[in-house]
Structure 1
Amino acid sequence: MRAQPEQQAPPVQRLRIRYAKRGRLRFTSHRDFSRAFERALVRARIPMAYSSGFNPHPRISYAGASPTGAASEAEYLEIGLAVVTDPDEVATMLDEALPDGLDVVAVVEAGGGSLADRLDASRWRIDLPDTPEAVLSAAAESFLAAESVEVERMTKKGLRTFDSRAAVLALGVTSYDAGSRLEVVVQHTVPSVRPDDVLSGLRHCSGLEVDGTPLVTRLEQGSYDATTGLLRDPFGSGG
């Protein structure tokens, strides 16, 4: 019989990390990021806890990764450590070990509950160069007035049709020097509604045609407060 693997000790500390994907690194896929992050853990000599089994892995839990091509100021993960370590020290060491454009924003001790349960919505900014504000505003009004807006997207399970309107909690339009800008709060659903799905919904409602390539940035993740329209910081109230 094959010998049973040695059982690893459980983590003595859990840390939650907020990081950003900026510039050209927005094209990093989730798989590429996870590889880069694990290499950074080794270079920074972070005392990771490992899973048990024949192929132990560092204890890392990812939550709600953004689509490839989208920049983000609010990506989250959780790590388990074998030695209690100062969160600020971990933040500094990891930020130095990661490539420029993958930047550690904050590290805190994990509190109670699941990190994923604290991330039920995202606030996105979509910059649309050369799109007039009046045209985008009219499209947004048509979208918000609709009871449902079905769009199609190819997924791992094939072509899926789903309602892009129901997941949108807020939608606003402003201008900037190169064109106009959408700011949209999207509830995390299954299947997920992404910023490009919202643009598809706008096109479906109004025939909106976008010139150039939209620049998509996730500004926040958190728990949506319907009273204020704000997202609660997932690191608040004890992390």
Structure 2
Amino acid sequence: MPQQQPEQQAPPVQRLRVRYAKRGRLRFTSHRDFSRAFERAVFRARVPMAYSSGFNPHPRISYAGAAPTGSASEAEYLELALAEVVDPAAIHAVLDEALPPGLDVLEVVESPGGSLADLLEASRWRIDVAATPDVASAAAERFLAADEALVERMTKKGMREFDARGAVVALAVLPEAPASGRTSLDVVLRHGTPAVRPDDVLRGLATVAGLDAGEAPLMTRLAQGPLLDSGEVGDPLAARA
């Protein structure tokens, strides 16, 4: 008896790029849990998804540049492949309604083509620490003046040492104080391998400059996208079809 061949799905007819936020207690949602919640939301909202071919078809959703678990974010991105042409504004509305508060859809645009992941070259972070502005400013100056800031982190391949300083494009103390009464650091991080995270920068600040960030510093990604010549982080959804 000939072996049954897997069903071949039709190619997508439209792709949409989605910017979403992780806020409040939902910042502790892991990427795996978010992807499950998002697939359920797509099903409930009856989004006309394109599916992969094979014996176990799944909706074609491409995730890019997910923030570390425990970090809040205003700039998470994914791309949907659809079986029908739809109005991006309508998909924005139904997805935001289907997701729980704290996982909020901020923008949906039609994809101009190319790789979304390739556009995510850097991130801008706000890190709220327990130090005073003067202490934080002095630590930032020492960190930026250092040639390197070696830190260790457990990875899938075991404990790894790497330089947290090399990925820091900019580091400054924000003039306004957060509601918590802490001091806010404004950090631009270049993406690379291994990926340097905001908590790695805090460890580097502790190692190089002795900065004590306090318990549970809040880390919020404000932007993610192409790294501009000015050192700013651009909008990956700006180039639209």
Per the alignment, in what secondary structure is the counterpart of residue 220 of structure 1? Answer: strand
Question: What letter is aligned with 1:172?
Answer: A
Task: Tell me whether 1:9 sits opposite 2:40 in the alignment.
Answer: no
Q: Report the equivalent of 2:126.
A: 125
For 2:28 and 2:188, the matched residues in 1 are separated by 22
Q: Report the equivalent of 1:82.
A: 83
Runs (4+) of structure 1 exceeding 2 A deviation are none
- Alignment equivalent of 2:186, drawn from 146, 166, 183: 183
Question: What letter is aligned with 2:133?
Answer: E
Deviations 1:161-214 (A, max 9, x none): 111011000101125150211010000111100000000000010111222320
Q: Which moved more, 1:83-92 or 1:228-237?
A: 228-237
Deviations 1:111-142 (A, max 9, x none): 1210011110000000113x111111111111
- The 5-angstrom pairing of residues 146-225 of structure 1 reads 146-174=146-174, 175-177=176-178, 178-225=181-228
Q: Tell me the CA shift for residue 85 of structure 1.
A: 0.6
Per the alignment, in what secondary structure is the counterpart of residue 142 of structure 1? Answer: helix
Q: Tell me the CA shift for residue 148 of structure 1.
A: 1.1
For 2:54 and 2:36, the matched residues in 1 are separated by 20
Identity %: 65
Q: Report the equivalent of 2:97.
A: 96
Q: Report the equivalent of 1:31.
A: 32
Q: Report the equivalent of 1:18.
A: 19
Question: What letter is aligned with 1:115?
Answer: L
Question: What letter is aligned with 1:180?
Answer: T
Question: What letter is aligned with 1:238?
Answer: R
Q: Tell me the CA shift for residue 2 of structure 1.
A: 2.6
Q: Report the equivalent of 1:237.
A: 239
Question: What letter is aligned with 1:214?
Answer: P
For 1:6 and 1:73, the matched residues in 2 are separated by 38
Per the alignment, in what secondary structure is the counterpart of residue 49 of structure 1? Answer: coil
Question: What letter is aligned with 1:230?
Answer: E
Question: What letter is aligned with 2:221?
Answer: R
Deviations 1:7-39 (A, max 9, x none): 000000000000000011000000000000000
Question: What letter is aligned with 1:85?
Answer: V
- TM-score, structure 1 normalization: 0.97
For 2:87 and 2:96, the matched residues in 1 are separated by 14
For 1:62 and 1:237, the matched residues in 2 are separated by 19
User: Which consecutive unaligned segments of at least 5 residues does structure 2 have?
Assistant: none
Per the alignment, in what secondary structure is the counterpart of residue 176 of structure 1? Answer: coil
User: Which consecutive unaligned segments of at least 5 residues does structure 1 have?
Assistant: none
- Structure with the higher strand share, 1 or 2: 1
Per the alignment, in what secondary structure is the counterpart of residue 193 of structure 1? Answer: coil
Q: How many corresponding residue pairs?
A: 237
Q: Tell me the CA shift for residue 237 of structure 1.
A: 2.1
User: Over aligned residue pairs, what C-alpha RMSD do you find?
Assistant: 1.0
